[in-house]
Amino acid sequence: MKYLAQQAINALQLGSIYALIALGYSMVYGVLTMINFAHGDVFMLGAFFCLLLIALVPVPFWLALIVVMAATALLGTLIERFAYRPLRKAPRVSAIITALGCGLVIQNTTLGISPYARPMPRLLENATYQFGGVTITMLQIVIIGVSLGLMLALDFLIRKTSFGMAMRAIASDRAMVSLLGIPANEIIAITFAIGAALGGAAGLLYGMAYPVVSASMGITVGWKAFVAAVIGGIGNMRGAVLGAFILGSVEVMTVAVLPSTYRDLISYSLLLLILVFKPYGLLGKPALHKA
């Protein structure tokens, strides 16, 4: 029982990080029906930005989080503005290739600057707490807490604010959004910024939890989050979070009973299995109307 509770905390930690990244994939898909394949690499850069920042000025965790989120938000906006927006009317395959290309450019630039994996310095005190024999670290509390806080903030933003309504409206009919006097391009740019900021936060948190930062993180971790978004139903925010926690749990459980080399086999098999029965993902719906 204790063992199970311990594993549940691990699953919650991994799931939270996957969820933050998956939301970025899902948000962008929601407004542009496009997979932003560079998103995993923005996540990776979140961790590297943190390394860089700490090397320059030793800042506390909260400040590092804010700076990293701002930096990745800016990066996400730039990618949208200069790589994707010019291709808005181009064939979809061009946008996909551009996204993959952006990801590879970011990844290989990072690899050029930092060819080896780097350790992440400690940003938080190494405190642990006991709850009925179950150990939870300060780090785990912060990771899960920050992730949930960001997710709730995003949920509020999407459901209750005019910006969120415009974002959902763009998913339904972008041309109509402009006819109401709403600057659709700005909404799309802000969507990218928020998605990238969440990805950057996830990069920082992941770097703290599994304290090795490498240029290939975008693929090994970022693509898992993409899988999570698809399992939940890409374009659906709550689905992305659900998919992330399912994937996180399955991975943690797999590693608990099987050699860790089976982890990816199981998670990708889960993706295939879910898609056979729920082709739009768990909470996804076929598009009613796409303009």
* Residues 210/47, Cβ–Cβ less than 8 Å: no
Contact between 165 and other proteins by CB under 8 A: the answer reads yes
Region near other proteins per CB under 8 A, out of 105-113, 144-152, 177-185, 218-226? 177-185
Region near other proteins per CB under 8 A, out of 120-128, 176-184, 241-249, 250-258? 176-184
Beta bridge partners of 130: 135
Contact between 157 and other proteins by CB under 8 A: the answer reads no
Contact between 91 and other proteins by CB under 8 A: the answer reads no
Residue partners of 256: CB distance under 8 A and separation at least 6: 7
Exactly one of 21, 22, 51, 184 binds other proteins (CB under 8 A); that residue is: 184
Instruction: Identify the CA nearest to 207 among candidates 8, 49, 85.
Output: 49
Exactly one of 168, 238, 263, 278 binds other proteins (CB under 8 A); that residue is: 168
Contact between 189 and other proteins by CB under 8 A: the answer reads no
Instruction: Identify the CA nearest to 228 among candidates 245, 209, 206.
Output: 245
Number of residues forming the site for other proteins (CB under 8 A): 20
- 118 phi/psi in degrees, rounded to 5: -120, 145
Beta bridge partners of 118: 213
**CA dist list (Å): 146 to 143, 149, 282:** 5, 5, 25
Rounded CA-CA distance 62/53 in Å is 12
The minimum distance between CB 210 and other proteins, in angstroms, equals: 37
Contact between 85 and other proteins by CB under 8 A: the answer reads no
Binding mask 261-290 for other proteins (x = CB under 8 A): ---------------------------xx-
Rounded CA-CA distance 176/214 in Å is 43
Exactly one of 1, 116, 126, 162 binds other proteins (CB under 8 A); that residue is: 162
Whichever of 121 and 173 has its CB closer to other proteins, that residue is 173
Question: What residue ranges in 177-273 does DSSP mark as E strands?
Answer: 212-213
The minimum distance between CB 188 and other proteins, in angstroms, equals: 13
Whichever of 2 and 160 has its CB closer to other proteins, that residue is 160
Report the Cα–Cα distance between both ends of the chain, in Å, rounded.
Answer: 51
Note the residues at the interface with other proteins (CB under 8 A).
162, 165-166, 168-169, 171-173, 175-184, 288-289
